[in-house]
Amino acid sequence: MKPNYNRIYQDLLQKQYPEKLECPKIREQLDKLDSTEEILKLNEKLFKQSKETSKTNQQLKTYDKKTMMKFLNYQKKHDLSTSFMSRKYNISRTTFSKWKKILEEELQNNS
């Protein structure tokens, strides 16, 4: 069971930033919250964060399987190194390596 992020963000915006709910782009993004990547994009768009907050949040991020596969398929498709992906998405090289190990079979099936 996972949280209903659409509902969470709608309630939050309704209480704190009702004017943002009127924006069609934000409403559209609210309807597409099906992966961790989409949730993080929306959060970044809505709330500007300081470097300290960003660093703390980075340590607490978790990714769903769909998002992990998306990153790994992108890496494979474009023949990118783990170091490059790590810098681009601000995710540790160790994390990428762990994902590859965990999802190795599914990555091979997608080829």
pLDDT (tens place) for every residue of the chain, 111 residues total: 778 888 888 898 899 888 888 888 888 888 888 888 888 888 888 877 766 666 666 666 778 888 899 999 999 999 999 999 998 888 889 999 999 998 988 878 776
Question: Which residues, other chains included, contact 63 with Cβ-Cβ below 8 Å and sequence gap of 6+?
Answer: 36, 37, 71
- pLDDT confidence of residue 84: 93
Cβ neighbours around 73 below 10 Å, total: 15
Counting beta carbons within 10 angstroms of the beta carbon of residue 90, is it exposed (0 to 12), middle (13 to 18) or buried (19 or more)? Answer: exposed
- pLDDT confidence of residue 58: 67
Measured at the CA of 13, the angle between CA 15 and CA 61, to 5 degrees, comes to 120
- pLDDT confidence of residue 78: 94
